[in-house]
């Protein structure tokens, strides 16, 4: 159980030594975790131009405790107690003295990375300080992007946002409401309601309205030319006018939020159009592809590693009884028995037809079978030494086959020229400056992707044009409202949110029109499920606790990908829950998204509680909601698949740092137990973290999708630069990987048209794959492969199976394919389960 200790980032304005003039407290605390060896740990970050304090606040049970800093030599130094005058309570700080010249306290904790130990009573707290190259501008970019996207998602009605319609996405309804508010408030300004109040003021005797004061003054001075009399003053500072100024202020605040969000969205669409246009140009012009020597050598090394494993293999655990000898055999396809292959003796390949048996089957030990399965695509000939049991069997169809079972294996040797062929291919590539001419299949795919990119660029520019027009119109009307508001200010009217008690707002048509237009503005905002009172909180999100900002940024982009790219429908009231989660560090918050057309839903849990007390940042699960259960799904829960994602905000990683972090998440924290698939991935903002590159595709240098681990563990680069350029393509590919693995195989309809139905959707636009766009074809092994086309946007997927281990494979073109591919032929995918792939050089 965690003690009542809280750690937060603080920005402190010092008044004098030990006394703070003002303390800005991060809205979210740092996560404190328990250590296996005892004590607790908290991680914090040092930024290059941003130096917050790490403040520790103690709860009940520590009232009389003075925390101390424990040096490496074991000496203890008391921490500094600083009172929070505005927020209340006090904070404990690690300090290294007072700078009289700079009028501030100093602390090594703000400047140096490393591990710092603190003793709080009987509790040891370890602070692990990371050094970051990020600065204020980098963190502010995440804040701006997060704030803009959050407001845009809430204020933009994607269902009605079309160029011709009146959805909130085009701003048409907001423009209309602002225009009505301007017209009505202008009429009010021309003739505002006023109050008449009686007062006293000096007046000429001829215009005097006398009162008792007038008579007293006249008695004292009958010759006076002016006497104090009654006057009547008009004032426009009425309750109705004050509330009207409040309505104008709120409307302008909504306009500012819309323009800010729309401008960021417009900039993003502009960058997206440029990226797609550039990719289209490259794809159309590409005739040769540059092969990455590191990736090529890595794949060669993988082949060598698999072959070397045979030299050390021995399986003597079985029964030594049976025939002992050396057996040179050539393996064919897998047999349906477990751990079995078809085989023929190497020396009698030609005479196999005249054999007294119809075919032969070899049954291997499990470990040897798995080794051979990983090399089967480039090595068929083996010589096995060991003990076998041999017999002839008869199938139900009357076929005779010989079955040999290896009860023990003493030695395995492989006969293949795969490494020699790879060496020759490498020499050829070196002579051609590592350039390889694209195959006809690659050229065809690149042309299709160029057409798709061109279409996406045109769509992005059209959306940008619509948004830009709405921003211009809304800004123009906002300027008119500012002029009206200035006019009311010149009349001495102050704004007030108090609703008037009189009947003028109802009885006067001009005031009633203002209220009606304002209610329309408020309804447009409230329609997104967000209370206007939250607008200030969203706008005031600061840069303290950058790791939490990055985590929330990742959450928002997962939302956007599920809703906008994959067309999942979020649960009712998601806006309010998302805003509440974004403004505070809530735990175990679950969001549900559904696609009724596919009968599936996605459950996304933030800070999910695990039985071990750990809390992964995001747990995403795909669940079947239909009545008919498939054999692939859990019959009780309908669970199809899932993934754990943990956000790590770093500016750089040490060598093998990401691998070590994955080991910590899986082995120490047990995050793989949170989902049945055991998939655990890190989300982080750094580029070029995969060395050597994990794939010859564009993402290979930045992400690792667990290419050799059946996509179970890896990391994804996703982030935003200080320029505002956002990178979420790798995150989209990761979600696509999880969703595609949960889709059932297409099934054939029971009719004479040979039509197929697939419960899947297009990765490009989220449209469901319709039967008219599904083509089925038989592979050489007799399995079925499907081409799933999208007539809406042109993105396609080929669903097939590994010929070696039958694992499902998805080819999504060079853009969205997450399987590893061959270095010199990127359309040739490598099975993530057994490593098999087609290679003409091995055939």
Number of other residues whose CB lies within 10 A of the CB of residue 323: 12
Q: Which secondary structure element, helix H or strand E, spans residue 251, and what is its range?
A: helix 239-285
- Whether residues 498 and 600 fall in one domain: no
Any domain includes 429: no
Any domain includes 605: yes
- Whether residues 93 and 106 fall in one domain: yes
Mean pLDDT of the chain, nearest integer: 87
Any domain includes 651: yes
pLDDT digits (tens, 9 = 90+) for 355-392: 588 899 999 999 999 899 889 888 999 999 999 998 99
Coil, strand or helix at 46: strand
Q: Where are the beta strands (DSSP E) in 236-339?
A: 288-290, 323-334
Q: Region 439-462: what's the mean pLDDT?
A: 90
Q: What is the pLDDT of residue 157?
A: 47
The confidence band for 414, taking pLDDT boundaries of 50, 70 and 90, is: very high
Which tokens belong to 678?
């055991």
Any domain includes 212: yes
Of 743, 759, 782, the one marking the end of a domain is 743
Distances, alpha carbon 757 to alpha carbons 641, 760, 797, in Å: 21, 9, 14
Could you tell me whether strands 726-727 and 747-748 are parallel, antiparallel, or unpaired per DSSP bridges? unpaired
Q: What is the pLDDT of residue 717?
A: 94
Range of the domain at 499: 159-194+236-289+434-527
Could you tell me whether strands 359-363 and 53-58 are parallel, antiparallel, or unpaired per DSSP bridges? unpaired
- Whether residues 578 and 694 fall in one domain: yes
- Whether residues 460 and 405 fall in one domain: no
Q: Is the predicted pLDDT of residue 163 greater than 60, yes or no?
A: no
- Whether residues 546 and 574 fall in one domain: yes
Q: Is the predicted pLDDT of residue 535 greater than 80, yes or no?
A: no
Which tokens belong to 25?
């407290």
Q: What is the pLDDT of residue 723?
A: 57
Q: Is the predicted pLDDT of residue 352 greater than 80, yes or no?
A: no
Query: Which of the two residues, 583 and 563, has the higher pLDDT score?
Result: 563
Any domain includes 330: yes
Q: What is the pLDDT of residue 51?
A: 86
- Whether residues 347 and 243 fall in one domain: no
The confidence band for 616, taking pLDDT boundaries of 50, 70 and 90, is: very high
Q: Are 445 and 796 in contact (CB under 8 A)?
A: no
Least confident of 201-215, 233-247, 314-328, 817-831: 314-328
DSSP conformation class of 747: E
CATH of the domain at 334: 2.40.50
**Which of these, 530, 561, 556, 458, lies nearest to 258 by C-alpha position?**
530
Q: What is the pLDDT of residue 700?
A: 92
Cα–Cα dist 174/151, whole Å: 15
The confidence band for 635, taking pLDDT boundaries of 50, 70 and 90, is: very low
Residue 778 buriedness (CB in 10 A; 0-12 / 13-18 / 19+): exposed
Q: What is the pLDDT of residue 237?
A: 87
Cα–Cα dist 393/598, whole Å: 46
Q: Are 568 and 594 in contact (CB under 8 A)?
A: yes
Q: Is the predicted pLDDT of residue 164 greater than 50, yes or no?
A: no
Beta-carbon contacts of residue 730 (< 8 Å; ≥ 6 apart): 699, 702, 703, 716, 717, 718
Cα–Cα dist 695/699, whole Å: 7
Q: What is the pLDDT of residue 440?
A: 87
Q: What is the pLDDT of residue 4?
A: 85
- Whether residues 49 and 102 fall in one domain: yes
Least confident of 14-18, 537-541, 586-590, 628-632: 628-632
Any domain includes 428: no
Q: Is the predicted pLDDT of residue 204 greater than 60, yes or no?
A: yes
Total domain count for the chain?
A: 6
Q: Region 669-695: what's the mean pLDDT?
A: 92
**Which of these, 834, 781, 801, lies nearest to 375 by C-alpha position?**
834
Q: What is the pLDDT of residue 124?
A: 92
Query: Which of the two residues, 842 and 456, has the higher pLDDT score?
Result: 456
Cα–Cα dist 551/567, whole Å: 23
Any domain includes 86: yes
- Whether residues 92 and 170 fall in one domain: no
The confidence band for 13, taking pLDDT boundaries of 50, 70 and 90, is: very high
Least confident of 322-331, 449-458, 656-665: 322-331
Q: Region 479-500: what's the mean pLDDT?
A: 92
Least confident of 225-234, 325-334, 631-640: 631-640
- Whether residues 29 and 51 fall in one domain: yes
Q: Region 79-88: what's the mean pLDDT?
A: 89
φ, ψ for residue 14 (rounded to 5)?
Answer: -80, 135
The DSSP annotation for 421-471 comes to: HHHHHHHHHHHTTTEEEPPHHHHHHHHHHHHHHHHHHHHHHHHHHHHHHHH
Q: What is the pLDDT of residue 158?
A: 44
% of the chain surpassing 70 pLDDT: 92
Query: Which of the two residues, 843 and 345, has the higher pLDDT score?
Result: 345
- Whether residues 36 and 127 fall in one domain: yes
Of 399, 422, 445, the one marking the end of a domain is 422
- Whether residues 229 and 247 fall in one domain: no
Q: Is the predicted pLDDT of residue 809 greater than 80, yes or no?
A: yes
Q: Region 9-29: what's the mean pLDDT?
A: 91
Least confident of 332-341, 424-433, 525-534: 525-534
- Whether residues 446 and 498 fall in one domain: yes
Any domain includes 427: no
Q: Region 275-304: what's the mean pLDDT?
A: 92
Coil, strand or helix at 58: strand
% of the chain surpassing 90 pLDDT: 49
Q: Is the predicted pLDDT of residue 843 greater than 70, yes or no?
A: no
Of 686, 714, 743, the one marking the end of a domain is 743
Q: Is the predicted pLDDT of residue 725 greater than 80, yes or no?
A: no
Query: Which of the two residues, 83 and 136, has the higher pLDDT score?
Result: 83
């Amino acid at each position: 159980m965690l003690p009542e200790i809280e750690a937060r980032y603080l920005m402190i304005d010092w008044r004098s030594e030990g006394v703070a003039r003002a303390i800005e407290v991060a809205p979210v605390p740092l996560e404190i975790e328990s250590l296996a060896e005892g004590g607790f740990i908290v991680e914090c970050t040092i930024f290059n131009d941003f130096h917050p304090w790490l403040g520790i606040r103690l709860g009940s049970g520590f009232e009389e405790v003075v925390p101390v800093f424990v040096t490496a030599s074991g000496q203890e130094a008391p921490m500094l107690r600083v009172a929070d005058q505005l927020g209340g309570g006090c904070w404990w700080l690690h300090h290294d003295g007072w700078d009289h010249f700079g009028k501030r306290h100093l602390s090594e904790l703000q400047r140096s990375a490393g591990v710092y130990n603190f003793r709080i009573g009987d509790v040891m707290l370890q602070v692990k300080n990371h050094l970051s190259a990020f600065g204020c501008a980098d963190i502010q970019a995440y804040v701006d992007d997060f704030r803009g996207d959050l407001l845009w998602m809430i204020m933009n009605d994607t269902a009605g946002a079309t160029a011709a319609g009146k959805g909130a996405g085009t701003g048409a309804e907001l423009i209309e409401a602002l225009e009505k508010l301007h017209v009505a408030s202008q009429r009010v300004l021309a003739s505002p309601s006023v109050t008449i109040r009686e007062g006293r003021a000096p007046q000429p005797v001829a215009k005097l309205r006398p009162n008792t004061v007038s008579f007293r003054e006249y008695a004292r001075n009958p010759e006076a030319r002016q006497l104090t009399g009654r006057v009547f003053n008009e004032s426009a500072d009425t309750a109705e006018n004050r509330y009207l100024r409040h309505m104008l202020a709120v409307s302008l605040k909504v306009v500012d939020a819309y323009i800010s969000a729309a401008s960021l969205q417009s900039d993003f669409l502009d960058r997206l159009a440029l990226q797609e246009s550039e990719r289209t140009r490259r794809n159309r012009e590409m005739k040769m592809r540059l092969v990455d020597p590191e990736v090529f050598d890595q794949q060669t090394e993988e082949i060598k590693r698999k072959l070397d494993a045979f030299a050390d293999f021995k399986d003597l655990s079985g029964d030594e009884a049976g025939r002992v000898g050396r057996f040179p055999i050539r393996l064919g396809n897998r047999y349906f028995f477990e751990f079995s292959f078809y085989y023929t003796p190497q020396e009698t390949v030609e005479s196999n037809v005249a054999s007294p048996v119809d075919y032969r089957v070899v049954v291997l030990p499990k470990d040897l079978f798995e080794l051979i399965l990983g090399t089967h695509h480039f090595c068929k000939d083996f010589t096995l030494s060991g003990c076998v049991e041999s017999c002839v069997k008869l199938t139900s169809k009357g076929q005779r086959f010989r079955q040999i079972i290896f009860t023990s294996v003493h030695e395995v040797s492989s006969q293949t020229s795969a490494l020699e062929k790879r060496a020759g291919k490498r020499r050829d590539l070196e002579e051609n400056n590592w350039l390889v001419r694209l195959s006809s299949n690659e050229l065809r795919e690149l042309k299709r992707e160029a057409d798709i990119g061109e279409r996406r660029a045109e769509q992005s520019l059209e959306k940008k044009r619509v948004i830009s027009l709405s921003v211009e119109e809304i800004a123009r009307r906002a300027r008119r409202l500012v002029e009206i508001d200035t006019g009311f200010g010149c009349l001495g009217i102050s704004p007030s949110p108090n609703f008037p008690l009189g009947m003028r707002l109802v009885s006067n048509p001009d005031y009633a029109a203002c209220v009606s237009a304002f209610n329309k503005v408020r309804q447009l905002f409230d329609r997104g499920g967000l209370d206007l009172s939250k607008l200030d909180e969203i706008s005031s999100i600061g840069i303290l606790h950058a790791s939490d900002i990055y985590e929330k940024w990742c959450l928002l982009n997962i939302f956007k990908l599920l809703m906008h790219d994959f067309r999942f429908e979020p649960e009712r009231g998601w806006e309010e829950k998302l805003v509440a989660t974004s403004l505070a560090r809530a735990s175990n918050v679950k969001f549900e998204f559904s696609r009724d057309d596919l009968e599936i839903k996605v459950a996304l849990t933030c800070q999910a509680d695990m039985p071990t007390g750990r809390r992964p940042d995001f747990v995403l699960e795909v669940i079947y909601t239909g009545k008919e259960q498939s054999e692939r799904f859990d019959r009780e829960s309908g669970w199809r698949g899932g993934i754990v994602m943990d956000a790590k905000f770093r500016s750089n990683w040490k060598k093998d740092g990401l691998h070590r972090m994955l080991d910590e998440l899986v082995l120490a924290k047990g995050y793989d137990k949170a989902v049945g698939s055991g998939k655990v991935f890190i989300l982080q903002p750094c580029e070029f973290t995969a060395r050597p590159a994990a794939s010859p595709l564009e993402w290979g240098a930045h992400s690792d999708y667990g290419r050799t681990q059946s996509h179970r563990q890896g990391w994804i680069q996703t982030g935003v630069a200080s320029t505002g350029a956002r990178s979420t393509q790798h995150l989209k590919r990761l979600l696509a990987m999880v969703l595609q693995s949960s889709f059932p195989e297409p099934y054939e309809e029971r009719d004479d048209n040979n039509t197929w139905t697939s419960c899947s959707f297009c990765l490009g636009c989220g449209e469901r794959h319709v039967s008219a766009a599904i083509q089925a074809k038989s592979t050489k092994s007799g399995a079925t492969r499907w081409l799933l086309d999208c007539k809406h946007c042109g993105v396609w997927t080929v669903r097939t199976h590994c010929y070696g281990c039958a694992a499902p494979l998805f080819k999504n073109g060079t853009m969205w394919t997450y399987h590893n591919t061959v270095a010199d032929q990127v359309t040739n995918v490598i099975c993530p389960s057994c490593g098999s792939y087609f290679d003409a050089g091995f055939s």
